[in-house]
Amino acid sequence: MHRTVAALLLILAPSQADAQGIVRGTVRDKDGSPIASASVSVRGTTLAARTDPAGRFRITLVPAGRVHLYAAAIGHAVADTVISLTGGDSTIVDLVLAAEPLALPPVDVISSRVPHFGERPSTSVADVTTQDIDRRALNTVDEAIEHVSGVQMINGQTNIRGSTGYVQGLNSRVLMTVDGIPMNQGDRGGINWDLLGVDEIESAQVLKGAGSSLYGSAAFGGVINVTTRDVPNGLHTRLRLSGGGYGNPPHDIWRFRDQQGVIGSGDLAASYGDDVIGGRISGGYRHSDGYREQDQEDHLHFAAKARWNTANTRVDVSGAWADDRYDVPLAWCNRGECADSGQVYQPFRMDTSEYGARTDSKKSYVAAQARTTLSPRFAWSARGSWFHTDFTDVRHTMSEYGIGNRFGLAGQIEARPDSTRAVVVGLEGTFSDVTSDIFGKHSQSEFAAYGQSEQRAGALRVSGGARVDFLAVDGGSLTAVVSPRIGLTIPTDTRARDGGMLRASVGRGFRAPSMAERFVHTFALGFEVIPNPTLRPETAWSFEIGHTSAPLFHKLRLDAALFWTEARELIEPQIIQVVDSTGTPHIEIQLQNVVRARIAGIDANVIAAPIPGHLTTTLGYTYLSTRRQLAGDTTTGPLAFRPPHQLTLSADYAFGVASVGADFRFASRPESIELEAFVDSRRVPVNVLDLRASWTRGPVELRLLATNVLNYVYNLVPETLAPVRTVTVTAVWSH
Amino acid sequence: MRKIVLLALVIAGCGGGLQPEPICAPSLVGLCGTLRFQGAIPDSTDNVFIAAYATVPQTCNDLIANRRPLIPGSVPYTDSVADYSVELAPDTYHWVVAVWKKLGSLTLTPADTALLRVAGYYRDPADTTQRGAVTVPNGPAPGDINFVVDFDNLRPATDFVTCTAQ
């Protein structure tokens, strides 16, 4: 084994005599303005860098000779150039990118586990860019995600192409990573969207379809990677203030307060960096009166990030801490539960017996990662992380608490044995524990090894690999899950570098039951919820074939994907009858591996720039066909909380220093919900229109955002009202 | 841009969204009416709900399993009069009953009858000693299904059905 590793290192690592140099420079647009976050890479190597806000980049260890340099940025055509570099020398290269609104975004972090050559991967990846986040003047991270085609946020749970549905906050079939580090909760497996302030976020990428072959459990239905802002060179500060109000109920009979509810937030960040070190600290506070009765929320957060660069190594240390206290409108008021004014239900009011209910929630993480480029063809990286959650639900009937930890360690090697092959292999270990009065005291260990390779054969690219995960609960026996994946991309228009591309992939996904699902013991809907320690992992095979067109008439680009998932042993709550020791029957609720399901559909997107430089529009449509079958039952039906049709429309018009835009989201009425006979099954389609406007001058930006301007009243889960009209004004000062 | 906004407005306008729903709303498929309360409300009261049976239950098991809705909502009972409505599938219901529930968790089994009492039921207008039948059409609900809830005369299930040993 040692000999094999030594031989590999000898092959891949360069001798000291190899001549190398440094390539540095800037990336600017045609007007000379710097382009931040552009990706600059040396083709055929692991060498890459991103530009800072001044558009500067620096790449070390570049082999002397003819160097093939490639630069890409959101909204710009790629630059592909060859330079000459002398060993031991430093060469300055200033790259100019032409504006191209239809350009495909550069490959980024989500693909860092996929060996690649800089082109788009063989699975669908949607990008939420810095510009998307800025122009929408969002207040929370999840608001940035829900505008992605095929994604629906259901009460904080992410549904990518119908993967998750709504699972009562006890798990997630989507993995969230922050700068590549998994951040799902250790106990419930869910996602804390309020862990980071929105001002910490630079961009996000959404990997659609099973990602378990790369990321393991929880990536059953997809992966969302959030990239935080980097630390640029120089001294920078950023102040963001936001304030606004909620619309009143559209019908007087639903009015529940005399004054208008308000929302406001403030964020301040400062950073300093040079070529070697850098650091950033930030903090923020947000208050919301909420749009319903007993819906107040206070949120405080701090974050810090530091980097250290040497000639061939970069070390990043980051952390965040957030404290939330929010009132809990558990469910809207039904007849007799409040001052109902003669109404069957009051969606803005709540059951008076739940007055005073609230949740106190603290969460924090610390992470460190290092990446060393040993040679242009060989790099390794390692990371460690700790994610801590602590919540207390305060209720009249009973209060519950839970403390969860998730510790992670990982190491990865990236290699380019030759110009036609890229390889990634890695090891990962995770330990999670929970102490809770509803989940008990338990732990779960996960160990994984993975390998992926991409081979170029002419214009064709074939990628494949597998990951094996071993899971153990409370130190018990290991359960092994193997998740293979294979993908293929074929250019369909070779005239342009950014031309059309056909992609196809098939992979296996799985999700280990969260400790909350296995061990939850509480009361819901008036029944006892009992634990099920024998839950098994959910598994699925996902297939996708898609095509991205080359720009049509220089104004239009189309992307469409056909996807198909066959899932086994999905975990759902079941109403069961049990007989106790006295022979008395009881109705109880238990989570069980009972459902077999098929999720198939089409995800189509159009981006158009009818007036280049001014007007950009996008249209996304997702059709979902789901079929659910209970074990031992031949009857079938649709999966719960999956709307068959989803439509997103977006348009932005820019003129000089100002711009206006609009977003529209439609989701048809879900055909089915869980436990339909036990809850108010009232539900309607989603029709939400958002409008925005912005003005930028020098370091100051002013943004106006009006969400749900039609004040459309709807719910996504039973008896829970979705947000009404909200108008906010945001001012940002950057220096 | 303008076309997109117009399209969005049209779609949104067609969607409707959640709307206020008064008791006995024209859109209700089910039945509704007025309850008149009399007697002293017991301290152990949890709630009062309305249930309907397409066929008159004969056993304790029928009483629980054939109840519609399976999980009924509560009716305000602290005033002397309260309007109520119940969503039901179109059918003819031969027993519409007000049920008093004492504090405690239901199990959806015949054991629930220990927590439940019959507090009143809709009577045939032509013969008030008999149960009244109500037909729920697939359209506007029949209103005026009015009856009395008597807290001083809460009757156990065994007055109406046969319960085997539980």
Burial class (CB in 10 A: 0-12, 13-18, 19+), B63: buried
DSSP one-letter string for A266-294:
EEEEEEEE-SSEEEEEEEEEEEE--SSTT
Average pLDDT over residues A185-206: 85
pLDDT at A116: 61
Element (H, E) at A365: strand A358-375
pLDDT confidence of A112, banded at 50, 70, 90? low
pLDDT the model gives residue A7:
45
Interchain pair A687, B12: CB under 8 A: yes
Which of the residue ranges A118-127, A686-695, B55-64, B141-150 would you say has the lowest mean pLDDT?
A: A118-127
Beta carbons of A34 and A28 less than 8 angstroms apart = yes
Mean pLDDT on A454-471 = 90
Taking the Cβ of residue B12 and every Cβ of chain A, the question of whether any pair is shorter than 8 Å is answered with: yes
Helix, coil or strand: residue B103: coil
Count of pairs with CB atoms under 8 A, one residue in A, one in B = 116
Segment A478-497 mean pLDDT: 85
pLDDT of residue B104: 81
Which residues of chain A neighbour B47 with C-beta distances below 8 Å?
336
Interface test mutation site (partner B, options A346, A587, A611, A647, max chain B beta carbons within 10 A): A587
User: Could you give the CA distance from residue A629 to residue A599 in angstroms, rounded to a whole number?
Assistant: 12
**DSSP states along A9-55:** HHHHSPPTTS-EEEEEEEEEETTS-B-TT-EEEETTSS-EEE--TT-
Supply A360's token pair: 């106190």
Under a CB-based contact definition with an 8 Å cutoff, are residues A246 and A724 in contact? Answer: yes
Most distant CA pair in chain B, distance: 71
The DSSP code for B157 is G
Q: How far apart are CA A312 and CA A78, in angstroms?
A: 26
Q: Say which residues have a Cβ less than 8 Å from residue B151's Cβ, sequence separation at least 6.
A: B37, B38, B39, B40, B41, B42, B45, B100, B119
Cα(A489)–Cα(A123) distance, integer angstroms: 9
Does B109 sit within 8 Å of A587, measured CB to CB?
Answer: yes
Strand positions, DSSP E, B4-159: 30-38, 45-53, 81-87, 91-93, 95-102, 116-121, 123-124, 127-131, 134-136, 147-150
Amino acid at the residue B107: T
Q: Name residue, tokens 């070529």.
A: A275
CB contact under 8 Å between B18 and A615, yes or no, is: no
CB-CB contact of A262 with A246 (8 Å) = yes
Please name which of A408, A317, A325, A409 lies closest in space to residue A363, comparing C-alpha atoms. Answer: A325
Count the Cβ atoms, other than its own, within 10 Å of residue B25.
Answer: 16
Specify whether the CB–CB gap between A213 and A466 falls below 8 A.
yes
Q: Evaluate the CA torsion angle B118, B119, B123, B128 in order and state its sign.
A: positive
CA atoms within 13 A on the CB side of A227: 21
| CB atoms near residue A734 (< 10 Å) | 14
What's the ipTM?
0.83
What tens digit of pLDDT does each residue of A40-88 get? 888 878 888 888 888 998 888 888 888 888 888 888 888 888 988 887 7
* Separation of CA A250 from chain center: 33
Please give the pLDDT value at position B97.
94
CA distances from A694 to A389, A453, A657 (A): 37, 44, 8
Closest alpha carbon within chain B to A680: B73
d(C-alpha B18, C-alpha A247), whole Å: 16
User: For chain B, which residues score pLDDT lower than 50?
Assistant: 1, 13, 166
Check CB contact of B23 with chain A, cutoff 8 Å: yes
Burial A560-581 (b: 16+ CB within 10 A, else e): bbbbbbebbbbbbbbeeeeeee
Contact between residue A292 and residue A260 where contact means Cβ atoms under 8 Å apart:
no
pLDDT at site A169: 67
| Mean local confidence (pLDDT), A674-688 | 85
Exposed / middle / buried, residue B78 (Cβ in 10 Å: 0-12, 13-18, 19+)? exposed
Does B26 reach chain A within 8 Å, measured CB to CB?
no
Q: Which helix (H) or strand (E) holds A85?
A: strand A79-85
Tokens 């903090």: give the residue. A283
Instruction: Grade residue A113 by pLDDT with cuts at 50, 70 and 90.
Output: low
Residues of A with Cβ-Cβ distance to B71 under 8 angstroms = 525-526, 677-678
C-alpha dist (Å) from residue A488 to A120, A546, A611: 11, 10, 34
Which positions ≥6 away from B14 have C-beta within 8 Å? none
- pLDDT tier for residue A541 given thresholds of 50, 70 and 90: very high
**Facing A662 at nearest CB: one of B4, B69, B70:** B4
Q: Which amino acid is at A420?
A: T
The whole-number pLDDT of residue A607 equals: 92
Do B73 and B48 form a contact (C-beta atoms < 8 A)? no
Number of residues in chain B: 166
Determine, for residues B18 and A682 on separate chains, whether the beta-carbon distance falls below 8 Å: yes
Closest residue in B to A678 (Cα–Cα): B71
Contact A155, A170 (CB under 8 A): no
The single-letter DSSP state of residue A552 is: B
CA dihedral of residues A698, A704, A705, A711 (deg, nearest 10): -170
* Total Cβ atoms within 10 A of residue A217: 27
pLDDT of A11 > 50? The answer is no
pLDDT at residue A109 in the model: 46
Do residues A686 and A643 make contact, with C-beta atoms less than 8 angstroms apart? yes
Per-residue CA distances from A10 to A6, A300, A580, A639 (Å)? 6, 51, 68, 54
Q: What is the pTM of this model?
A: 0.87
What does the pLDDT read at residue B122?
94
The tens digit of pLDDT for each residue in A220-267 reads: 888 998 888 889 889 999 999 999 999 999 999 999 999 999 999 999
Question: What pLDDT, on the 0 to 100 scale, is given for residue A145?
Answer: 86
Judged against a pLDDT cut of 70, whether residue A12 lies above it is answered with no
